[in-house]
Amino acid sequence: MNKDLERILIKEEDIKRRVSELAKDIMKDFKDEELFFIGVLKGSVVFIADLMRCVENDVTMDFMAVSSYGLSSQTSGVVRILKDLDFDIEGKNVIIVEDIIDTGTTLKYLYEYLKREILRN
């Protein structure tokens, strides 16, 4: 065990099992369709990699960096896009992969932002 950790809350096997279950749900919902995963940096990186390895569909991935915290540990309510997508998502099956959702402010903003960008094109 890592010496910096007091205890492990969720066992590695449990996380792997749950990622596999999520992948099966995604494959069931999207059959053989192509998927576009958007990972919200930086917290989603390891999880999105694990999830992509379990999903058998064709998957394209890109990342966005979004901030509503600044230097604080509490959301400011103001969301900023620090890194936008490099690929067009119009007409694609998009799955946003975020690490921790507390207030939902960032995810709501991101969802609305992506909808506006699609409609603008």
Q: Which of 4, 32, 86, 102 is catalytic?
A: 102
What whole-number distance in Å separates Cα of residue 104 and Cα of residue 59?
Answer: 25
What whole-number distance in Å separates Cα of residue 27 and Cα of residue 21?
Answer: 10
* 102: annotated active-site residue: yes
Angle at CA of residue 14, ends 12 and 15, nearest 5° = 65
Q: Which two tokens stand for residue 54?
A: 């379990």
> What does DSSP assign to residue 50?
H
Contact of 48 with 106, CB cutoff 8 Å: no
Catalytic residues: 102
